[in-house]
Chain A
Amino acid sequence: EAQVTQNPRYLITVTGKKLTVTCSQNMNHEYMSWYRQDPGLGLRQIYYSMNVEVTDKGDVPEGYKVSRKEKRNFPLILESPSPNQTSLYFCASSLELTDTYEQYFGPGTRLTVT
């Protein structure tokens, strides 16, 4: 089954404790992206990757890191989480970096930072 998977689905952590949210897609997609969803704000892009070893900042990259060492994986790293990073996070992938391809979303990771 073609899908985007994320782990963990739920995470409660404390301020400053490094964490990683994994994202993997099995569709051989070149383009991957991370979004955060906050009430009333819709989804905002954190980082994106056009291909292996190619990443760039989105609209809200502060406090986050990413890497793209393999085509299928695109982990999101919070080196020192803070309470304002409490949010719902989505990973997405798309076939190519072109205008017309829709993005496929993972199930989401709900992160709480206390």
Chain B
Amino acid sequence: AQSVAQPEDQVNVAEGNPLTVKCTYSVSGNPYLFWYVQYPNRGLQFLLKYITGDNLVKGSYGFEAEFNKSQTSFHLKKPSALVSDSALYFCAVRQYGNKLVFGAGTILRVKS
């Protein structure tokens, strides 16, 4: 079965510094990977996805993610964090059909 793991419950970063939220995956076949963000009292919002092609995927709000097949990772990155980036981030992998399997989530706290 496909799965993803987010090894960090929480990531703290200072505003203006680069941020990384980690995700590793375990899949059979080609992985279809997604990142979603959840702001307080809101639903999940799609950030970006990797289906095929370039290993560096650019998404919404200045976020990008790097697909690394040898390390089975799909880390979310941003060159310069904003306080407004503080939220709960989920990595997900597509399983059969259109089902998404989510990681447990990582809280990102950006301090000014």
Contacts and interface: CB of A to CB of B under 8 A. Distances in A.
B51 A100 contact: yes
Interface in A1-48: 4, 31, 33, 35, 40-45, 48
Contact of B46 (A44, A45, A104): A104
A107 B90 contact: no
Given A99-B32, A102-B34, A102-B49, A45 B44 contact: no
B45 A100 contact: no
Interface in A88-109: 90, 92, 94, 96-108
B103 A48 contact: no
B42 A33 contact: no
B90 A100 contact: no
Size category, A interface? 20 to 34
A97 B97 contact: yes
A58 B99 contact: yes
B98 A31 contact: yes
Contact of A41 (B32, B42, B43, B104): B104
Contacts of A43: 44, 90, 92, 100, 102
A110 to B, nearest CB: 9
B107 to A, nearest CB: 11
Nearest to B42: A107
A111 interface: no
Contacts of B34: 102
A107 to B, nearest CB: 5
Contacts of B42: 107-108
Contacts of A50: 97
A42 B44 contact: no
Contacts of A45: 99-100
Interface of A: 4, 31, 33, 35, 40-45, 48, 50, 58, 90, 92, 94, 96-108
The 4 closest A-B pairs by CB, nearest first: A42-B102, A105-B43, A102-B46, A105-B44
